[in-house]
Structures are given as C-alpha cells and as structure tokens.
Structure 1
Amino acid sequence: MTTNQHAVRKPPAVIPKMSTYIMPQPLSKQESFALISKCLDLLPSAASETSPKQRTIFLSIDIESTPRAQPRVNEVGVSILDTADLSSPTKPCSQTIKSHNFRTRPKYWYSKPTKSFLFGTRGRHPNPLYESEGVQVVLVGHEVRVDMKIMEDCFPGIWENTVISALDIGKEEYRGLHCGGNDANHTLKALLLTAFQHVDANVERQPVNEQRIELIERVVRSCVPIMLKDAPQFERKRKQWDNVKDVGESLDDLGVGWSELIFNPSL
C-alpha cells in the first residue's frame, strides 16, 4: 500500500457567500436637508412647540479595510453625537461629540494609525445603541455605502431589515485622513456644517432656530483634536485641522459622496 493511499485529502476551501444586499435609493437633496434640519431642530415649527422632539443619535463610521475578494476590516472609527446631550446644561461643548478608534489587526499594522488618532482613545460606548428605546439612529459616513458593503460581506445580513431610507449630501477631499476615528469625526462635523449652509441659504423663506444653530456650531468648533498642542512638532497637524474646519464653508458640489442612512430602532 503506497503512502498516497493513506494521505488525507484536504477539504475544499469554503468561500463565503457574498452579500446580495441592495442599498435603498437616496432621498433628494431637498428631502435630505429637511431630514437633517428636523433631527437637529434647526427649523422650529408649530408642531415642535407642542410635541417633544424625538431623540436622535448621529453615528458616524469609517472603516479601513484590505481590498480583497473577501475584505478584511483593519480599523473602525466611530463618532457619536446624541441630540439629548445638546439639551444638557452640564455637558461641555467639547465633550458632546464622542469619538473612538477600534482596531482589529496585529500591533505591527496599527502602530502608526494609533499615534495619528486625534480625538480620544479606544473604548466602548456605555449605552449600546441597540439597547436604547425610542431612539432614531442616523448612520453617517464618507462614501458610507462602501463601508456598509464591507461589513455586509464580512457579516452577511447585518443590515437586513434595518435601513429604511438613505441620502447623499456632498463630498470634499482634504489631507490627513485614513485613520478611522479621525475620518468619522471629520465626516460628522462636515455633515453639521453642511446643514448650516442649507439653513443659511433658506433663511429668508423660513425662520430658523438661531440658538440651536449657535449651540451646535460651538460643539463643532470646540471639539478640537486632543493632540493639537502648542509645540512645533504639532504644527503640521494644526494646519490639517484648520483645513478640516473650513470644509463646511466650501461644499459647493453637493449630492456626491457623503451619505447617511436612517435606521429603524424597533427592528
């Protein structure tokens, strides 16, 4: 009897089934800005004076992955703005937007991205969104469809029966990205600044909530990266941050790229 007859044949490699998830059609630009303004309470109406506003959580994500047939997630950045915190008299503006950077690759891969995360430390949100009741969750991202597709391919069915609407709000390119936590933070702030642009353009036709706009703008401007110290070695990072702060003032090509998706909390 030969050695080959005793050899055990390896089972064929299991190829994960790729997702067939289809993204919903985006809302129009007008509907998109109306939705953002409603969630942020930027445009007060008669109805809002008599009924409480629904709590909304803006959840901005950015995924850094390896482009393969079956993608591998290397890093996930998360930035969170809870509208309940905007009404808190004790919450400092600089702490209203919470950002985290999660990594899944070996230490040798993420040592450099770790040093470049500007807005906090890795951690876990104390109140998981899926355990919250009566909360409308808005998922925000820079080309978020790509990130959702990666997660769907890695974890089939993760978004199924969850997304109820989608919209695109614009795109602006700048340097200093490709750290998941930074990208998520910048994208969320750019979304808010873009909403202000829309409100300013329509102020003659509809009254605005000036106090609310001023509050949210203070939140955006005050959440400065923790590494922007008064030291020569941080000069380059300060210049990059100045470019990012101005992104909301130069979004002229709306409707290309940045996306957000509305999630149904009851599913």
Structure 2
Amino acid sequence: MVTSRKHSGPQLVVFCTRGVALTWTQLWVRGSQREDLWKKYDGNRRAYYAAFHLDDTETLINLERGMETFKRWEARLSRQMLGQRNQSAGMSAAVNFINALATQTMSDKADFVFVSLDFEGDIHSRGLTEFGYATLDTRDVIADGPTIFGHHYALASNHKRGFLFGDVTRIDVPQLGATIREVCHVTDVDGTDRRVVLVGHGIHNELRNMAAHGVRLEDLPRVVGAIDTGELSKVVLGQASTLERLLTSLEIPLTRNRNGFADSLHCAGNDAHYTLRALLLLLYTQSSPTSGGSIDLLEQMARAPLPGRAVATKNDDWDAHLDRELFEDIVTRICPASDRTNS
C-alpha cells in the first residue's frame, strides 16, 4: 500500500494497474469509491489519479470494442439510408401507378410488378421457418384483368397454418437465398427483366432477413423501390398498427375461428397476400374519390372474397418426384398380393 509521496512514479503505476479491479468509469461515478481510493492512497494525489487510468491492454480492448460498435452503427445507418431512399422511390412508383389507373394509360414509370414478401420465424433464435410472397402486375390492373399470385415455402417439416392462396413447397434453409433472388427477379414473356417494387408490413424486418441469407437490395438492380404498409398506414390513417389491426380497420376479409381470432395470419404466404391487399386499399383511400378511371379496381381486389379454407399441409418435394412404378414394385415384393387384398 502506498503510504507516502516518496514512492517513485513507476512503482505507483504498477501498483495501480494491479490493485484496481473496477474500471475508471465505475470508480468515477461512485462517490464512495473515490473516497475509498483517497483513503487507500493516503492522500497521494499522483497515485489517486493514476488509479483512474487504464493500462495499455485495457485501452486496446476498449478501442477494439469501440471500432466494432462504430462499424455496426455505420452499417445500420447505411441500411436505413438505403431503405429510406427505396421507400421514397417505391411511393413515387405507386403514385405513377395510381395516375395510370386514373387515366387508363400505361406509362413506363407505372410499368412494374409489386412483390410482397413475408418471413416467419427468427433468424436470431430458432431460425426462419417460412417464406411467402405475393405479386401483382400493374399491366394486368391497367388491362382490367388483375390477379394476385402467390406461393408459400415451408422451411420446416410442418407448419400449423394452411396457405389460402396457392401451393406450398418444402425447401431447405440453404436454398432460401436463391429462392428469394428468384422471386425478386421477374421477367417478361420475351425474357427481359421487369421493374419490381417490394412491399412489406414493417419491411425493414424483411430486408434484414433477406440480408441474413445473402440477398441485399443493392444486389437486386431491378428492384426500383420498396413500400412499408406500416409506414403508409401512418400517413393515410394516422396510426400505426399490426397487420391484423390494419386489415380489420380497412375491412379486408379475414378467416376467423370460433373464438374470433384471425387464424390465417402468421403464415408467411397468407401475410404476404394480405399485405398486398392492404397496400391496394391504402392507395385507394389515399387517392381522390373523383380520380375516375379504374381506381375502384383497387378496392375490389382488396376486399375480394377469400378462397375456401385451406388445410395445413406437409408438402415435401420428394413426394412430387417419387417414382411410382418403383414404389409399386417395392410394395409388391414386401407385401404379398393376398395380404393387400385382405386389407
């Protein structure tokens, strides 16, 4: 213990680096610690102030931690700026689409495909379990023949909620990145690439899930914008809400169980479809009632009756490619014909 000011500087520094367990920030915040240090060094100001300094190793560790934090914040801010630019471009494209509907004249700026995306699961814990999408071609709407297409991909061996709007395909997690790229790459009949506007409710979550599987917006040159129905609902309705509350407030049909709960939500394919319907009705609500043209088509699509109730399925790809003749041959050799007849 340092008891006088006669000790040399180096000895004091060595003692300080070995004797102080808490960081200098902790010591500085707590008044009782400062008092204890003052008593500990018996009024030796040089030793007292030296106790608040980190040694070279601690300083290097803190610098490395600070740089890692800076890199994370820089990446986060870059994503936010990219997302804001894309959302501005997405809304601009939507306005051009509304104008084309009002005039019933297609323009290049209104010629694109809405692609609504949704994921189920958590990339930070048990992983993603489902991916779904829904598409709407603005050309079809202008031509008065609109159809929303969609698909559901199951990344687990089973899923609890049935997909209402199409087929289900079982894929493995390593295939998800390529699947997302394929969904976001829309081609025309002549093979040329179409412009795409991504749609999502809380779309930053979808973009984060895409990036986690190697798909970034900057890698998708034909994606010209993105629209967040959660943010759009703030502008149009003056409130932010969950997808279920938004659908309910917009009076978009939902399947419900006997307890009144929307039992078709939290299925990625269904949520993507519902999100696209919500977008159409928000755009309809935001447009002028006297816009004319085919604006009413947006409301009709959004509030169209739902298809028959789906049954939760387990659709493994191997079953679709099963060699039936080989299967029958195996059954014949294992199970005699008499046994099969009796059963």
TM-score (norm 2): 0.46
Give the corresponding residue for 2:32: none
Residue pair 2:120, 2:268 contacting (<8 A) in 1 also: yes
Show structure 2 runs of 5+ residues with no match.
1-71, 170-178, 234-239, 245-261, 311-343
- Secondary structure of the residue aligned to 2:294 is helix
Distance apart, 1:129 and its partner CA:
3.0
Matched, 1:22 2:79: yes
- Superposed, 1:3-152 pairs within 5 Å as 20=75, 22-23=79-80, 24-26=82-84, 35-41=93-99, 44=102, 54-68=110-124, 72-88=127-143, 91=145, 96-106=147-157, 109-110=158-159, 112-113=160-161, 116-122=162-168, 129-132=185-188, 133=192, 135-152=194-211
Closer, same or farther in 2 for the Cα pair 1:212/1:122, shift >3 Å?
same
Corresponding residue pairs, total: 192
Aligned equivalents of 1:30, 1:131: Cα separation in 2: 24
Q: Looking at CA atoms only, which structure, 1 or 2, has the larger radius of gyration? A: 2
Aligned equivalents of 1:61, 1:30: Cα separation in 2: 18
Aligned with residue 215 of structure 1, among 282, 297, 300: 297
Aligned equivalents of 1:50, 1:98: Cα separation in 2: 21
Show structure 1 runs of 5+ residues with no match.
1-17, 229-267
- Secondary structure of the residue aligned to 2:164 is coil
More strand by share: 1
Aligned equivalents of 2:202, 2:270: Cα separation in 1: 15
TM-score (norm 1): 0.58
Matched, 1:190 2:278: yes
Aligned with residue 307 of structure 2, among 207, 225, 228: 225
Residue pair 2:90, 2:225 contacting (<8 A) in 1 also: no
Note the alpha carbon deviations across 1:171-191, whole angstroms, 9 max, x for none. 433244210011011110111
Aligned equivalents of 1:141, 1:185: Cα separation in 2: 10
Residue pair 1:55, 1:134 contacting (<8 A) in 2 also: no
Note the alpha carbon deviations across 1:8-27, whole angstroms, 9 max, x for none. xxxxxxxxxx9946132536
Note the alpha carbon deviations across 1:71-105, whole angstroms, 9 max, x for none. 7321011111111222446x4x5xx0112111111
Distance apart, 1:67 and its partner CA:
4.4
Note the alpha carbon deviations across 1:119-163, whole angstroms, 9 max, x for none. 222269x997344435221100011111111121122x5332446
Aligned equivalents of 2:164, 2:300: Cα separation in 1: 19
Closer, same or farther in 2 for the Cα pair 1:159/1:128, shift >3 Å?
closer
Note the alpha carbon deviations across 1:165-221, whole angstroms, 9 max, x for none. 445312433244210011011110111101111113xx5xxx61x231122322223
Aligned residue identity for 1:198 = Q
- Secondary structure of the residue aligned to 1:80 is strand
Matched, 1:158 2:216: yes
Higher relative contact order (CA 8 A, sep 6+): 1
Identity among equivalent pairs (%): 26
More helix by share: 2
